[in-house]
Amino acid sequence: MTNEFIHYEKISRGTWQSLHRKTTPPLTEEELDSIKSFNDQISLQDVTDIYLPLAHLIQIYKRSKEDLAFSKGIFLQRESKNQPFIIGISGSVAVGKSTTSRLLQILLSRIFPEASVELVTTDGFLYPNSILNERNILNRKGFPESYDMESLLDFLDQLKNGQDVDIPVYSHEIYDIVPDKTQRVQAADFVIVEGINVFQTPHNSRLYITDFFDFSIYVDAAVEDIESWYLDRFLKLLSFAQDDPNNYYYRFTQQPISEVKDFAHQVWTSINLTNLQNYIEPTRNRAEVILHKSKNHEIDEIYLKK
């Protein structure tokens, strides 16, 4: 075990699945298919073995957070006000963060029927292409400097204070922030915040985004597996774009497939891999739980912070 994981307990899938009494997954095969990213693979068995114990662990953290808030309230002689329980989910591009996030959203809303569960991706905090162009960093979209991290911090701060917030919306179809469109995020009982940058420190800031999280998850896998999932996803996106000239990926449908594959590989190497190695993976040990995926997308190991 490398030093990096010295403060984690490594748990095999077999051990992990036995930590939670067996229950029927609170969702159907159809629902699972509707939430998973189109190139991701996940089964109801994964829900039972991995995600139900994880949701149970989140329940434990939520309870202890409420107990602490209550005790602090007594100490400070004032009533503690309810705050959203914020869960951060990070990992590489194409590793399956979105599927994990959507699945947790459904599970938490089924396990806590009275609770409201919001899901936010940090894509909305990317600067619009016009600003990235102006700063000459369009080719560094996804790197730390391409995000409006101060706005992201403000958003989390307002949520923690129980305020509902309107945030920008990003579209992968147009590859840009959608003009004049916002998403209203409520200070719900649970708020899941998903993105490659959610464990990073804003430039020149003394605050960590992780300071706002009550629980955090990093989705991990071997680099060569993530690369093959990324290339697979890139080619699948073309099939959705072939009849839509407004789609960012449409241009690639007009090119020979060998050229497209070369381009996707170059994007992976020069942008996504560089970003992963320099900025995303170094934040991995800020997570409470690391979910490690094997080649077939199955979670084979879980690391839990001691």
Which residue did the predictor score with more confidence, 23 or 14? 14
Give percent above pLDDT 70 in the chain. 98
Contact between 301 and 12 under an 8 Å Cβ cutoff? The reply is yes
Residue 98 in this model has a pLDDT that exceeds 60: yes
Domain map (residue ranges) of the chain:
6-303
Residue 54: phi and psi, rounded to 5, are -65, -45
Mean pLDDT estimate for the chain: 91
Average pLDDT over residues 99-104: 94
Residue 123 in this model has a pLDDT that exceeds 60: yes
Contact between 244 and 250 under an 8 Å Cβ cutoff? The reply is yes
Residue 36 in this model has a pLDDT that exceeds 80: no
Q: For residue 94, say whether it is annotated as part of any ligand binding site.
A: yes
Q: For residue 115, say whether it is annotated as part of any ligand binding site.
A: no
Q: For residue 64, say whether it is annotated as part of any ligand binding site.
A: no
Is 122 buried (19+), middle (13-18) or exposed (0-12) by CB count in 10 A?
buried
Topology of domain 6-303, CATH = Rossmann fold (3.40.50)
pLDDT in tens, 37-74: 766 788 888 999 999 999 999 999 999 999 999 999 99
pLDDT in tens, 150-175: 999 999 999 999 999 999 999 988 88
Q: For residue 97, say whether it is annotated as part of any ligand binding site.
A: yes
pLDDT of residue 2: 60
Q: For residue 162, say whether it is annotated as part of any ligand binding site.
A: no
pLDDT band at 20 (very low <50, low <70, confident <90, very high): confident
Q: For residue 205, say whether it is annotated as part of any ligand binding site.
A: no
Residue 233: phi and psi, rounded to 5, are -65, -40
pLDDT of residue 38: 64
pLDDT of residue 97: 95
Select from 59, 28, 256 the least CA-distant residue to 36: 28
Average pLDDT over residues 176-180: 95
pLDDT of residue 273: 97
**Residues in CB range of 260: below 8 A, 6 or more apart:** 234, 235, 238, 252
C-alpha span between 164 and 186 (Å, rounded): 4
- One-letter amino acid for residue 249 of the chain: Y
